[in-house]
Amino acid sequence: MKKYLLGTRGSQLSISQTNWVVSELKKNNPDCDYEIKTILTKGDTDARPLFTIDQKGIFEKEIDKAVANKEIDFAVHSLKDVPSILMDNLVLGCVPKREEVNDIFISKNNHTLETIPANSIIGTSSLRRAVQVKRKRPDLDVRPIRGNVESRIKKVQDGKFDGIVLAQAGINRIGIDVKHSKLSPVDFPPSPGQGALGIICRADDGGTISMLKTIEDPDSRIAVESERALSTFVESGCRFPVGAHAKVNGSGMNLVVVAYSIDGTKSIIVQQNGSRADPYGLGKSVAEELIQKGVNELALDWREKLEEWNK
């Protein structure tokens, strides 16, 4: 029996989604065995708000190094945490079927984002979500929040925050039964790759790649490749809020991208259609239109005012 060693973070969400991957792999590869190794990352040990840490891949670099050094065979990540440019000799070996892409709102008294009282304290680890909340409800007090999904929910239950915004995919994967309201991807375009998993392996490990491909979802791969192509041309991620959502429809696909000013008063929206045969080309084309419409000026404004926002 072929045995594989795979790596992931030690959070409950990471373990839950990695167990799901193993379960799916076993269905398609019954002659294989899998062992999970948890690895501590910089993102797990640095308590600062995510958007103040000027480093890409803070939740995956140490794990991917272990793949590159042949300490483990492959790594399971939340795809939104994976940089668009990987280490040498590493590839995105598999994108399984994507979860829900939308964000959700959780509050102590079961308010929605529309009904929660003015001046309520809303927590998020994401600049994108912070701006989207302020655009919808400028009378709310949006503050940074850190911690895993469970600890963030507990901070609402304990009254430290009146509400939080986070991804539905995390709730679904852990299986937490908590009352929430869905936020529309139209008003809250998700982070590129949100809801998807990315499995990283060595480019020269053909056997592992073939094994991983047994749980690949082609539509999910195409959609996230289009969204992630943006990051190659436009600086985004934790430190600059860009929402992106691609949908695959038969032989075609649609990509909608929104970038925001720091005060939320301005936004640049680009929507294009393309071919499913060239998701990267569609992402590049959308990025070029964003640049033409002034997205780099918005990014510069963010970098200058980031520290002020954090305070």
Catalytic residues: 81
In sequence order, what E strands does 29-68 have?
Answer: 32-38
Distance CA 253, CA 247 (A): 6
Residue 74's closest CA among 31, 26, 11, 22?
22
Query: From CA 309, how far away is CA 127, in angstroms rounded?
Result: 10
| In contact, 205 and 61? CB cutoff 8 Å | no
Task: Give the closest residue to 112 by CA, choosing from 133, 143, 128.
Answer: 133
3-state secondary structure of 198: strand
Name the β-bridge partners of 105: 165, 181
Both tokens of 77, joined, read: 């990540």
Q: Which residues contact 108 (CB under 8 A, 6 or more apart)?
A: 156, 157, 159, 162, 163
Overall size of the chain counted in residues: 311
Q: Name the phi and psi angles at 33, rounded to 5.
A: -120, 150
Distances in whole angstroms, Cα of residue 24 to Cα of each of 19, 28, 131: 9, 7, 37
Which residues have CB under 8 Å from 27's CB, separation 6+? none
Task: Output the DSSP codes for 202-239.
Answer: ETT-HHHHHHHGGG--HHHHHHHHHHHHHHHHS--BTT
